[in-house]
Structure 1
Amino acid sequence: MGAIQTFARKEIKFLLTEQQYQDFLPLLEHYMNPDKFCVGGKEYGIYNVYYDTPDDFLIRESLEKPDYKEKIRLRSYLSPAQPEDTVFLEIKKKICGIVNKRRVTMTLAQAEAYLQEKIHPDLGGSYLQEQVMDEIDFFRQRYEIFPKQYISYQRAAYFGKEDTDFRLTFDRALTGRRSDLSLRQQSYGDLLIPEQMRLMEVKIADSMPMWLAEELAKLQVYKTSFSKYGKAYQMYVQNQLEWTRPQLTIEKRRRYDYA
């Protein structure tokens, strides 16, 4: 069983074109080091299943931009994941702009047993992991949750040479789907952003470094509000509206014909 990881930080998001990303790389290499999985320009995959209530309360509430919001997801770095593979059950909260993420590791089989049948995983007596599981248990007492959204992407990640808690991530090939909601399934879905775009996230405990702010201004890259799950949900709602609109038109015509 892996160790718990806890993060508390601000996350600032930007959308970059591929050209802006390429223009940014030389300066990035001067101030930052690639993640150990990204040496030599490599990327790694991230695969998530988000859980929500039957009426999508958590994401609908999140899109209202309250001071406090929370979400829960199951994450893997392999696709498709096997029952014995390690996954991360994460609870993520945002309070007045500060993101706190706590997660616990277990096998995919253990995670499925817990999420589907509420069978508590054996955490090896770890107090810290039990603490997070208690928090997740409390979350589940408040919300009846089910798998609602699959999201995957490819990531390039960097951390500061002077401040290793300062991280930059660049995500591309963001895809989502509302079916086959299992990490056992292969990654596929609809694009959440254009294929030639990357989502950059600045993850910091303090203020943004001056060199970064100046380079973003030079490249005309501006802060945006973007939630992967939120974007996927908005696309789902839009698709539902587009599907029901012709049906409503047909129904109105039928009523007119029978009048």
Structure 2
Amino acid sequence: MTVQKVFARSEVKYLVSDKQRELIENEMLRWMRPDEFGRSTVRSLYYDTPDHLLIRRSLAAPVYKEKLRLRSYKQADETFPVYAEIKKKYDGVVYKRRCRMTNAAAEAYLSGGWQDGPYKNEQEDNTLDAQVMKELDFMLSRYKTLAPAAFVSCEREAFYAVDDHEFRITFDDNILGRDTDLSLTEGIGGLKLLPDGQSLMEIKAG
């Protein structure tokens, strides 16, 4: 399976009740299909400065904002592949760059302890990964005090349009967040970020 590493798309989020979700899913299944992975647990480790500069900027809803995270779809160990991702939003369009490496390599890289050798053995696309790495390097140099700041997990169901796989709708529930045990090797758990009976629906169009 080809791993998509570069995205440019519009994303819109809605908070929906269980009843609204059921109605929406029943309607959209006429022209959409469930993602091949089915219901999955998404784990994200967000990086920020000690004074939470990135999240404060994001909450201010500027024209441009950016975030840095590690993401996995299972509880990781040191050798488990995860994604190092930069996500930027400018004028309503989301740009995402990511590269895949082991969790140990990703944590070392984002903490400044990067060793070039291990990563070379993991590369799948030298040209594209090199460009993504340059963008990661620039962000790390711009915000020199970035460190793990928040762990967020959710249960996700994803769907894609039959005639356009770039058009996707996801539903996230059981969204949990915490600011302790900040590693993808830790289990899920934390403060519930949504009331019972609600989901976060996101529409994504390339």
* Partners of 2:18 and 2:64 in 1: CA distance: 33
Task: Establish whether residue 135 from structure 1 lines up as the match of residue 119 from structure 2.
Answer: no
Task: Give the partner amino acid of 1:16.
Answer: V
The equivalent residue for 1:55 is 51
Give the equivalent residue in structure 2 for 1:106.
Answer: 101
Q: Does 2:28 align with 1:35?
A: no
More helix by share: 1
Contact 1:50-1:150 within 8 A present in 2 as well? yes
Equivalent residue number for residue 159 of structure 1: 160
Shift of residue 3, structure 1, vs aligned partner: 4.7
- How far apart, CA to CA, are the structure 2 residues paired with 1:150 and 1:26? 32
Question: Matched residues in 2 for 1:160 and 1:4: separation?
Answer: 17
Shift, 1:25, TM fit: 2.0
1:237-252 pair list within 5 angstroms: none
SS at match of 1:165: strand
**Structure 2 matches for 1:56-75, cutoff 5 A?**
56-75=52-71
Query: 1: distance between equivalents of 2:13 and 2:43?
Result: 20
2:187 is matched with 186
Cα distance change of structure 1 residues 35 and 3 upon mapping to structure 2, 3 Å threshold:
closer
Structure 1: which 4+ aligned runs deviate by more than 2 Å?
Answer: 120-125
Task: Give ranges in structure 1 of 5+ residues lacking alignment.
Answer: 206-259
Identity %: 42
How big is the alpha-carbon RMSD for the aligned residues of Structure 1 and Structure 2?
1.4
Indicate yes or no: 2:92 matched with 1:91: no
Q: Give the CA deviation at 1:118.
A: 3.1
Q: Distance in 1 between matches of 2:77 and 2:196?
A: 28
> TM-score when scaled to structure 2?
0.93
- Give the Å deviation of 1:171: 0.3
- Unaligned runs of 5+ residues in structure 2 are none
Report Cα offsets for 1:90-138 as digits up to 9, x if no partner.
0000000000011000001111121223314325470110110010001
TM-score by length of 1: 0.74
The structure with more strand, counted as a fraction of residues: 2
Amino acid at match of 1:25: E
Separation (CA, whole Å) in 2 of partners of 1:29 and 1:178: 37
* Shift of residue 4, structure 1, vs aligned partner: 5.4
Larger-Rg structure:
1
The number of aligned residues is 199
Match of 1:175 in 2: 176
